[in-house]
Structure 1
Amino acid sequence: MTLTARPGQPLTAVEVEALQYAAEGHTAEQTARRLRISRAAVLDRTAAARTKLQARSTTHAVVLAYRTGQLDLDGQPAQLVQVRALVEQLHAVTDPSRSAA
């Protein structure tokens, strides 16, 4: 899957699903068990999403997918909390001065 992923392409449903689980805090192993697929398949889906979104990490991909409207977390308060936590982690990585506050 990652071999055919190109920056700027829209995410597929399975890539969005993998990012959804990541946004909820699930590991690749946990996601694989829930979806009854291999861990490698989950990692492949998140790698494809990162490529398409030009993200530096899965956390960054979740944020970018959410910001571009490809990952819908509306009406899911627990998931929104997770996204906010991921955004803060991203800010801490990209701008260490923010995490000192």
Structure 2
Amino acid sequence: MTLTARPGVPLTAAEIEALALTADGYTSHQIAHRLGITRSAVLDRTAAARTKLRARTTTHAVVLAYRTGQLGLASGADRLTAARALVQQLHAILDQPRRAA
């Protein structure tokens, strides 16, 4: 029997992040350290993604997330770097003194 992803059951951002870092080759321990969460939280996120996607393994979940368009080809590290850069830009904008109108 072939398992397929359930259409219309979107993954959360946290689940996608865990799968993306898994796809990049990080272990659950490394992902936990990188995200500042517990290993148990990482395992919960990947388990939830497996359930939603009806995947047999986490690797299978990565493939199904990609096939359903929920996981792109950019690496998780690339996305994290881009997100951090955006946050820094926003902080720079917010830290600028306000001009008098």
Q: TM-score, normalised by structure 1?
A: 0.65
Question: Counterparts of 1:48 and 1:41 in 2: how far apart (Å)?
Answer: 10
1:61 is matched with which residue? 61
Q: How many residues align?
A: 70
Where structure 1 has 5 or more consecutive residues not aligned to the other structure, the ranges are 1-6, 80-101
Tell me the percent identity.
67
1:84-99 aligned at under 5 Å gives the runs: none
Where structure 2 has 5 or more consecutive residues not aligned to the other structure, the ranges are 1-5, 79-101
Runs of 4+ in 1 over 2 A off after TM superposition: none
User: CA offsets per residue over residues 26-67 of structure 1, 9 Å max, x none?
Assistant: 000000000000000000000000000000000000000001
1:13 is matched with which residue? 13
Question: Counterparts of 2:48 and 2:16 in 1: how far apart (Å)?
Answer: 10
Matched, 1:36 2:36: yes
CA displacement at 1:73 relative to structure 2: 1.2
Question: Counterparts of 2:60 and 2:29 in 1: how far apart (Å)?
Answer: 19
Larger Rg: 2
TM-align CA RMSD: 1.6
